[in-house]
Chains A and B, each alone.
Chain A
Amino acid sequence: MKEPAILAEALTKDFGPIHALSGIDLRLEKGEFLTILGPNGAGKTTLIKILATLMRPTSGLVRVAGYDLAEAGEALRRRIGVISHQTYLYENLTAYENLRFYGRMYGVQDLEDHIRGVLEEVGLKGRRDHLVRTYSRGMQQRLSIARALIHDPSVLLLDEPYTGLDQHATRMLTGLLARLRDGERTVILTTHQLSQGLELSDFVAILVRGRIVYQEKVAGLSLADLEDAYFQHVGQEYRWDTQ
């Protein structure tokens, strides 16, 4: 039997008395792209942090790329790339220095080639030796993608990557993701904006109050259908937030 790229069973996370996640089941095969929609505070970041080994679940099983989260933290971390709305970049270092730093931390072979490759991928080759401090928000986010790709992870976790990006940068990010998606990578993207990332996804899920309340194939699903489902589960009061 083939091992799914990402598997979560009965995953829960409590913060004291608060149930941030209750009974999450996920199954993604290699190369699939899942978008998780949900309002703020639904548990999206918590879910990503658990999958990325930044947070321990209260209970449940998580396997990423065939490795159990509880046992093989190290082997698993090599296969995960995380892009969040925070860049994880050092602002007083150049793009090149940042990438070289993370590359060394992952023990990447042929690091120089890799750095050239990912910089080209995100279109920042010309600004390789500029301090990250001098970058625009959009450029920082692109470099953040390069950072997440430096060790060629097979699983990409994107937590609200569109936050704070202007129109141009948003389009650029979508284009980049589309290219990444063509590869063998398995991707989970979280967002609170319905339209974003949808055209890239194979599946879409809605997360509300720590539960996945809706899961559907994107093929044949219209934005209007999705909107109806979303507001039915989330509640009308959120309609303004998301538009």
Chain B
Amino acid sequence: MGYTVRLWAIIYKDLVSEFRTKELFSSMFVFALLVLIIFNFAFSPGTRELQLVTAPGILWVAFTFAGALGLGRSFALEREKDCIHGLMLCPGDRGIIFLAKFLGNLLFMGAVEVITLPLFAIFFNVRILPILPSLTLILFLSTIGFASVGTLFAAMAAATKTREVLLPILLFPVAVPVIIAAVKSTGRVLEGRPLSEIAPWLNMLLSFDVIFLVICYITFEYVVEE
């Protein structure tokens, strides 16, 4: 009971702060948009086939790069004025800080994805409405995996001298399974293949999510403690 109150308190204060400044969301969204546009320049004009082959990759580069940007910022905010110490002083398991920041990042990344997806459909001339349920499932599982290790690494990077610079270097190699699974399954779904065909990918995403959520939750305390 007290746990959910505190969990929500952390998420809520991040949301209020974000609604006021909009700095996380706007920078993530504009960055994702830029990635779509820049990559479109890189691959077109090309054949329709080339466009279909490259589209899922471009989409996930946009999501993960924008995600890394937001993840880094979310912990940098806690380091300002040493707020992270204020959080650590609070009673209770410190894993709750991880969980709250993870859920917050999930919300921010999800919001960016929801807004970017229609633009992607327009720019790359793909129909996403008929495949929306499967696409949502892929987005959900992949974003959980990416945000779980991402939140932990963001906490690490924020504690180093280089701040956010280290985050992508830590995050992207470890997130390789998520990125490959996301790109491949998105590609299959865009080709109109049935969900059963991507079941192995979804299983992999699910295993990644479960394994790393647990590990990150447990090890978070070691990352923030001095």
A residues with CB within 8 A of B: 49, 52-56, 74-75, 77-78, 80, 82, 84, 86-93, 97, 101-102, 104-107, 131, 147
Distance, CA A53 to CA B94, complexed state (A): 12
B225 close to A (CB within 8 Å): yes
Interface string of B39-78 (1 = CB under 8 A from A): 0000000000000000000000000000000000000010
B residues near A131, Cβ cutoff 8 Å: 20
Q: Are B83 and A88 in contact, CB atoms less than 8 angstroms apart?
A: yes
Cβ B90 vs Cβ A102 within 8 A: yes
At the interface, yes or no: B81 with Cβ under 8 Å from chain A? yes
> What total of chain B residues lie within 8 Å of the partner, measured CB to CB?
26
Q: How far is the CB of A129 from chain B (nearest CB, A)?
A: 13
Find B13's partner among A54, A97, A106 (CB 8 Å cutoff).
A97
Q: Within the complex, what minimum Cβ distance (angstroms) separates A201 from chain B?
A: 24
Instruction: Say whether B89 contacts A82, CB under 8 Å.
Output: yes
18 CB contacts below 8 A, A to B, read: A56-B225, A74-B91, A75-B91, A82-B85, A84-B85, A86-B82, A89-B86, A90-B17, A90-B77, A90-B81, A92-B20, A92-B21, A93-B13, A93-B16, A97-B13, A97-B16, A105-B91, A107-B5
CA distance A102 to B85 in the complex (A): 12
Q: Which residues of A contact B16 (CB under 8 A)?
A: 92-93, 97
Task: Verify A54–B85 contact, CB threshold 8 A.
Answer: yes
Nearest neighbor of A157 in chain B, beta-carbon distance: B89
Determine whether the beta carbon of B82 is less than 8 Å from that of A88.
Answer: yes
Whether the Cβ atoms of A86 and B81 lie closer than 8 Å is yes
Task: Kindly list chain A residues whose C-beta atoms are within 8 Å of the C-beta of B82.
Answer: 84, 86-88
Point out the residues of chain B lying under 8 angstroms from A88, CB to CB: 81-83, 85-86, 89
Contact B226 A105 (CB under 8 A): no
Contacting residues, chain B, for A106 (C-beta < 8 A): 90-91
